Homo-oligomer: A and B are copies of this chain.
Amino acid sequence: MSKSASASQADDLHKLRHSLAHVLAQAVTKLWPDTQITIGPPIEYGCYYDFLFAKPISDADFPAIEKEMRSIIHQGQTFRCDTLTPKEAIVYWKKQKQPFKVELVEDLVKNEGVKEVTHYVNIGPRREETFTDLCRGGHVENLREIPVDAFKLMTLAGAYWRGDEKREQLTRIYVAAFPKKEELDAYLLIQEEAKKRDHRKLGKELDLFCFSEIVGAGLPLWTPRGTLLRDLLDDYVWELRKAKGYNRVTIPHITKKELYETSGHWAKFKDDLFRIQTRDGHEFAMKPMNCPHHTQIFASRQRSYREMPQRYAETTMVYRDEQTGELHGLSRVRCITQDDAHVFCRPAQAKNEILAIWEIVDTFYATVGFGQLRVRLSLHDPDAFEKYLGTPAMWKHAEDELRSIAKERKADFFEAPGEAAFYGPKVDFIAKDAIGREWQVATIQLDINMPERFDLSCISESGEKERIVMIHAAIMGAIERFLSIFIEHHAGLFPLWVAPTQVGILPVAALHEDYAREIEQKLQAAGIRTKFFDHTESLGKRIREGETEKIPYLLVMGDNEVDAKSVTVRNVTTKKQVVVSVEEFVERTVGDVGERRLKASIG
């Protein structure tokens, strides 16, 4: 398919979804005439519209709304575009008792200085006006073009008017909409699967993390099982880094604001920080990132070229003052653990350092089950250079370097202007999960600006001060967010080496318990994490329990096993069942764990 054909399809889909938002608002205001309307844009999988209802509605009202929408579509309405002066538009919306629309027109005048606005009016088959919206256009010719079997009202959500928690709380209705019923069905199926895999649900069922009302929203507490999972993954990242010459450092989680005034974060992100007034009257902040602190370790003594590169790694928490409404499970939290690292190196060393990190990223993601990652080269936006630190020449050089490395690694990469950090371009890695969703995960950032701002240098062979560069690199990135992806990708059935409980032990009856305890001891001595299911429940019930707890192996042992010094192994992932000797089970399990194999090899 040619690019223009694809672009035109995207445009058609946009028109369809945008038109459907009008239909939704038309249906809602017909059913509840005193509803105030606001805006309704198309989104990735359909559209939404934000309303202020006089009385709250619920998803029990969805069938009635959908029925009304279908009826509107069947009428074959068309759109008429009216051009008005802002004054005329304001008079119109005041008369309609739609104050949000009045505010929108007023703001268009104030912020963009518009001299005219457009209204799109739905015209019914008998030429009557049925619904009017303030809109910039982009619709289907006739509403009949919208397939009535390829959309579905999905959810209700709260949303502040203009995203401002001090303004009215609106009700947002999300609609899934596609050109064909099959596409909608496929989308719904993925949604259904995603719901089953929802990390918030699995996190609770598998006892990985919890929230407490008195600790607060967006602040997960990690249980022993969840902490084990985090630590095993993080230990692996550290093992990979250690082999590349990294050292761990440790920094406090707070700082005087002066650190961020120097780094430039204060000017850009001050409102997103948790800020603290100390009793001495200093202004402190909780760290939203680690790089400024790490520069201070580098800068604590003058470095010689012989000591370069300095590679600092630290898994530590950063903090963001997110609005409560924006929080979501582990995906969006207020307290974020980063497996962060910063390399301080000479410009000529940057390429090798980036290649080494890239290798760690590829190894890690392959091991944890994501295969090959897509790569986004996040570059600066040439039309908004004022958003960035540094000069165009510095940026060109850094971006060229990253591009050449991506080519050299033969990566599956694309370029994204405008996606750079304010201090330098980035390589962002994108993982695809088991149900086809894409997630940005690791990142490597080449930073040519912090070293200037903090005056970081080393003494070169010739005894001169040489400006260094910094590389920022996270492998899992935000560990909470990574784990939300990891849990959903594996649907809670983790690779053996990270499973909080690796083996369930199920003696058939009381007389097999001694044998079972013997095996448990052997496994524990070999460092395997076990759980003993004693015979007070039926075997069938215990097996179901072990499956619900997503324990990779369940070992059943009765008379035959005791006699043969064997175990019957149920592989909970493959659902296969095999009999092996105890020695073989221990040896192969230890081997699979030691090698961090993705799939447990027995059964």
Contact = CB atoms under 8 A, between A and B. Distances in A.
A296 interface: yes
Contacts of A207: 301
A231 B223 CA distance: 22
B334 A296 contact: no
A286 B276 contact: yes
Given A212-B299, A212-B300, A216-B256, A249 B224 contact: yes
A279 B321 contact: yes
A253 interface: yes
A220 interface: yes
A85 interface: no
B220 A262 contact: no
B253 A227 contact: no
A214 B249 contact: no
A286 to B, nearest CB: 7
A415 to B, nearest CB: 35
Most buried by B among A226, A254, A261: A254
A172 to B, nearest CB: 19
Interface in A121-176: 165
A187 interface: no
Contacts of A254: 216, 219, 274, 286, 319, 334-335
Contacts of A521: none
A578 interface: no
Interface residues of A, number: 59
Nearest to A278: B321
B248 A228 contact: yes
Q: Is the interface of A mostly helix, strand, loop or mixed?
A: mixed
A222 interface: yes
B221 A249 contact: yes
B258 A214 contact: yes
Contacts of A271: 279
B259 A212 contact: yes
Contact of A253 (B165, B253, B280, B324): B253
Contacts of A251: 221-222
Contact of A255 (B165, B219, B227): B219
Most buried by B among A214, A227, A312: A214
Interface string A334-355: 1101000000000000000000
A215 B300 CA distance: 12
Contacts of A259: 212, 214-215
Nearest to A287: B215
A335 B252 contact: yes
Given A227-B249, A227-B250, A215 B279 contact: no
A252 B221 contact: yes
Interface string A225-254: 011101100000000000000011111111
Contacts of A247: 224, 227-228
22 contacts: A165-B279, A207-B301, A210-B300, A214-B256, A215-B252, A215-B256, A216-B256, A221-B249, A221-B250, A221-B251, A221-B300, A222-B249, A222-B250, A224-B248, A224-B249, A228-B248, A231-B248, A250-B337, A252-B334, A253-B319, A274-B276, A276-B276
